[in-house]
Structure 1
């Protein structure tokens, strides 16, 4: 594992270098050459500047062949990557390493508002998976090798090996810490950083000025910043998926939407060109305290909308850089506002931009340790630790209070997938009661006498029976155990009806519920069967489902998924 971690780290660092060079090549050939050819300048407004809106749309056109021939590779994004790693055996196909990587490079190089960290994490993870499959690693070890590759990609991007380690453990492995896996991830992250420094120098994608705390009372402002950014991150998540849903609902062919999305982003960038690409260049100016309050406040909304349109329209890319950008401009705006309120305090807006950057990332992804160590490694300052810890914890707590899902897991929750629940529960969540239940139900009229019931159960193999009235509505349930208490009372056999012995407070299920919910209901009362009723009246019986039915359905689904993973 250590040897493989070294190799994955080296290749992850090389993969990051090639990916960055591809982005730069596309940017030079398409974006910069077009600006020169059309004589467009962002420093002043000219009529030609309106043509800049066409550049991201051109990126959408360039991506169309990838959607036509390799559409499956572009679907899912980083959320799909997490599902494959945590629920599908971490067996990643090789081709998306090139197709999705190229698609993301085109998106970023032509001005699409997205990040490169998600794609590079997938590239590194795919390298790790290929090594694991080559050496026939088991599921857990294969998962660790994928995490090694993801850590390598992020570490090489930011020249931040510790942040790469925590990215892999918090986000990719869902905080499942084991010493053996941690050792491999540390090695891979360190090796990728060595390769990146050898090729690019000891520099990061982001650089920040020296960080200082002017006064202990500033911690109160950082607490307020944490609350503000935490609420802002929740709003961004809601806005992102609202825009994505609206784009999905547009009655246009799927292949037209990347072009439309690129055009809309271009229109935003025509006015605010800071939204183009990953935004690292502008972020650095904000970290140095530059940027007017009105500009930074406007960019919070503009970048959020541009990113949501970019990714929602089908242009591949990541969410990591947009989160950093939004945190930086929001924190910078907060800092400028604090300077206006406390002009004698000698506050630095860039310091609040720096802490806001990490806080937004932490709150949106539920990964505070990644954010804390990323900022520590970018600034190389111990003084940033206390402010960023306070702000990250507050911001993440606020975000989790209002929204249980992170930015990457909202779509999964919509599909009934809970990464932290594991493979077993997610299989149960994917199966519906209506697919498994028995529709031919043996029912008992509620006015049947005990004598008639005794004759009835002698001819059946079931032990639980729903009671129905004359309208066929569920009124109770009776079991053989309920009947055994009076079976020897001969005088009662023709006088007492079964409803008097039945349980009338019946736990029921609906056909639309998943098996995980149904199994919880069965386990709560330790019963064997659940009557299934309609949602309109909650009384009309439509079927019955047993514990045995659910276990059999789970086993069939598990076998089917295992065979599917092996085929890949």
Structure 2
């Protein structure tokens, strides 16, 4: 009905559906952020008596006083949060466990319907995980929430399967754009994150519309300030030492990203092998995360506020040694949170771990004589460390470069970020932190039919046909034909005269003649005198279409339809081997 009312069709010019996706994604983003605050006040505030710092874009300030009156109860808080999540996930929404972005990527590739139930359950479970002190990110939950919104609206509008795929991707990008106030990055992420080495370009235009709508909705309620507020000296160029620092940072973040992926994989293996009920696994993981949080407060919740303090130079509670050690503690805590089945995302932990790595590189290089400059300072290296780590872990360099400008409110660090991101992406290896990513479109089930069409259009009959053909003439006894078909395991023989095809005889022709005296029959008595033939220059797609239209599976190949000189034979089995890659192309 809505489709008819608006005369709507989802294509590049479409406007209505991206607007609706952006609107709902923005509203859900606001609810999600508020839910995290309520959860944090209940768990960390009520149980532990701790209020974590916030980035300036979320209401934080320079005046933060670290207090945790009941630190010994932190493992209880994180374990309780894990238990609640375990129960909700087990009873209502198994897809809400783990990394939300990966679940959205998997749903995209396999055309799995998500819907509002998934969005709502992910919102609740992620808010409990983060609010109780679990080390997790907001990107994963809001990505799955947005994808669920897109999937739901795609079904409401009765879109085609391909259009629903695009709607899901658009919703994912819009959700990220709203939570991080980063509309450009959100739109590009919706195109980039599904593949390690490819892009889903069809999502870009509708995703830009949806992402900006979500950004406007969230900004209207919570303000348009960037997530992090930074103050950098005026840019005076990039010296050789500065460039060397960012090359070293790129190498460091690549190694850290590899360690993150390894740690998360190992954690999943450990918890999958535990002989306890799935409901209790997030609680066990949460308990250990709480112990780690007692050691360093950076390993509590999202950790964004601590990054803001580092970038603002407020290092009263963070010594250089604690910053370095916190890298590895946060990696363990994030792995235990998500590996045990807690709900959340990897983007936030990647930023925190990367920011700590950047600050650590700053301290190390300063100790060996690197001089402070407009490009080499703790704020700059922290920011670039954040984005280069995520780029390496998620195989999403382009959207990450855009993100650095949007979450910091400027482009001054774009050149250093390009250096570090390029190095980290190159050295990060083939593994991605998103296990459902594939290399190229051709590897995605969503695009297999499209690529099959392209492959069949690309190759010709002459590329796959069999040139050596067994034939018979019109005087051949039918009994002999039966023996040939049986001995060679084939179903059809061309009938030729002076190398010209004058008919075909198949096993079905023999079956039809069973009620006759087979010993007296010749090929000319039962053959098909008007066979379907194909030419060597015909595409495999057109050949397969002919097979389907005429209900046949094999045909002689002739030099031309006029002369009909036999030069080969082709079957649907030959075409199938091309699609599966099991047949060499001539």
Q: Distance in 2 between matches of 1:37 and 1:273?
A: 10
Match of 2:414 among 381, 385, 388: 385
The answer to whether structure 1 residue 14 and structure 2 residue 27 are counterparts is yes
Aligned to 1:25: 38
CA distance 1:7–1:209, shift in 2 (3 Å) = same
Preserved CA contact (<8 Å) 2:136 2:346 = yes
SS at structure 1 position matched to 2:344: coil
Q: Distance in 1 between matches of 2:378 and 2:223?
A: 29
Unaligned runs of 5+ in 1: 428-454, 466-479, 481-545, 556-568
Aligned to 1:279: 303
Preserved CA contact (<8 Å) 1:120 1:150 = yes
The answer to whether structure 1 residue 122 and structure 2 residue 144 are counterparts is yes
The answer to whether structure 1 residue 360 and structure 2 residue 382 are counterparts is no
The answer to whether structure 1 residue 324 and structure 2 residue 351 are counterparts is yes
How big is the alpha-carbon RMSD for the aligned residues of Structure 1 and Structure 2?
3.4
1:11-49 superposed Cα distances (whole Å, 9 cap, x missing partner): 1111100011111111112220113399xx995787x42
Aligned to 1:341: 368
CA distance 1:22–1:96, shift in 2 (3 Å) = same
Shift of 1:255: 1.8
| TM-score, normalised with respect to structure 1 | 0.71
Q: Distance in 1 between matches of 2:364 and 2:65?
A: 27
SS at structure 2 position matched to 1:383: coil
Question: Aligned runs of 1:155-234 on 2, under 5 Å?
Answer: 155-172=177-194, 175-178=198-201, 181-210=203-232, 212-213=234-235, 215-217=238-240, 218-234=242-258
Question: Aligned runs of 1:434-513 on 2, under 5 Å?
Answer: 458=483, 461=486, 463=488
CA distance 1:134–1:345, shift in 2 (3 Å) = closer
The answer to whether structure 1 residue 35 and structure 2 residue 62 are counterparts is no
CA distance 1:396–1:458, shift in 2 (3 Å) = same
Q: Distance in 2 between matches of 1:124 and 1:242?
A: 29
Q: Distance in 1 between matches of 2:434 and 2:371?
A: 42
Q: Distance in 2 between matches of 1:426 and 1:55?
A: 46
Aligned to 1:542: none
Match of 2:102 among 73, 79, 82: 79
Shift of 1:548: 5.1
Match of 2:268 among 244, 250, 265: 244
CA distance 1:9–1:326, shift in 2 (3 Å) = same
Is the deviation greater in 91-100 or in 188-197? 91-100
The answer to whether structure 1 residue 398 and structure 2 residue 427 are counterparts is yes
Shift of 1:464: 7.1
Q: Distance in 1 between matches of 2:333 and 2:82?
A: 14
Preserved CA contact (<8 Å) 2:148 2:168 = yes
CA distance 1:424–1:37, shift in 2 (3 Å) = closer
Is the deviation greater in 184-193 or in 210-219? 210-219
CA distance 1:100–1:37, shift in 2 (3 Å) = closer
The answer to whether structure 1 residue 303 and structure 2 residue 316 are counterparts is no
Shift of 1:251: 2.0
Number of aligned residue pairs: give it.
439
Shift of 1:115: 0.5
Preserved CA contact (<8 Å) 1:212 1:384 = no
Q: Distance in 2 between matches of 1:426 and 1:251?
A: 39
The answer to whether structure 1 residue 369 and structure 2 residue 398 are counterparts is yes
Shift of 1:75: 4.6
Preserved CA contact (<8 Å) 1:53 1:264 = yes
1:160-216 superposed Cα distances (whole Å, 9 cap, x missing partner): 1111111111114774354x6322111111111111110001123333323654542
